[in-house]
Amino acid sequence: MSELFNSLSILILLSSFILMANKRVKSYIKTFRFQSFLIAFAAGIIGVKSILEEGRFDVLLVCLVIIILKVIYIPNLLNKMQLNVEYKVEKDFILNIPILIMGCCAIVMFTYFSLSGTDIVSRGAINNQIVNSISLTLIGLFFMISRKKAIGQIIGFLEIENGLFITALYMTGGMPLIVDLGTFIDLLTAVMIMGVMVFRINEKFESINIDKLNNLKG
């Protein structure tokens, strides 16, 4: 079972590299959907294990919520958002893709060496899982600040949340249901608010490039 979770954590981390290498908003959304599916799959395995060993159904319920919210609803919402804003062919990333990928590699190495001496990651097989999941969170932050378009920054925010969730899942075997549901409600609210901001930016500047916000400086 630990080998399966290790493989899943590697695939989830690789999806963050793929996301960083993408150049178009549609590709961001597809990669985020795939990443969320992998996380839902990991939660589903832990959920089935919890049912068989402890009789707990909450983790499996969280898996279903992830599928509904992150695999289906939010990607569809972002696709509609992307279709309804003014489309312009603009460079979305601040640095070149190879430099960004090298930055992701540096983040993974930094995370590994930072955590290698702590008790959190000194329990054998869980080591790689925690390192990969924390790296996912930091790469999400890196993705968020490296993109110019507002939708790309929303995807970065969602990737940070994915990293935090999978880190908590690997470390605890499943957070209490009320905590997860509260997090998902906050996440959905944040995405909807940011969606309104995207429309307002597009309406004002006829672009979703946040560099246009510099025009508001006095």
Of residues 150 and 107, the one with the higher pLDDT is: 107
d(CA 32, CA 79): 12
Is the dihedral angle over the CA atoms 110, 129, 164, 8 positive or is it negative? positive
Mean pLDDT of 114-123: 66
Q: Please state the rounded mean pLDDT for residues 111-129.
A: 68
End-to-end CA distance of the chain: 58
pLDDT on residue 89:
47
How much of the chain is helix, strand and coil, in % rounded to 5? 80, 0, 15
Cα 36 from Cα 51, distance rounded (Å): 22
| Percentage of residues in the chain having pLDDT higher than 70 | 73
Q: Which range has the worst mean pLDDT, 16-25, 27-36, 69-78, 205-214? A: 205-214
Question: Which band of pLDDT confidence, cut at 50, 70 and 90, is reported for residue 11?
Answer: very high
**Which has more confidence, 76 or 187?**
76
**By mean pLDDT, which of 11-25, 94-108, 181-195 is the weakest?**
181-195
Please enumerate in sequence order all residues whose Cβ is within 8 A of that of 119, keeping only pairs 6 or more positions apart, or say none: none
Distance from chain centroid for Cα 8 = 15
> If you average pLDDT over every residue of the chain, what do you get?
79
Most confident option among 11-15, 26-30, 120-124, 167-171: 11-15
Per-residue pLDDT at 212: 54
Name, in order, each residue with C-beta under 8 angstroms of 14's C-beta and a sequence gap of 6 or more. none
DSSP code at position 51:
H
In contact, 73 and 158? CB cutoff 8 Å: no
Range among 42-46, 90-94, 167-171, 200-204 rated most confident:
42-46
The predicted pLDDT at position 41 comes to: 92
Q: How many residues are given for the chain?
A: 218
What pLDDT does 207 receive? 53
Over the stretch 22-40, which tens digit does the pLDDT of each residue have? 888 888 899 999 999 999 9
Q: What is the C-alpha separation between 160 and 162, in angstroms, rounded?
A: 5
DSSP state of 72: I
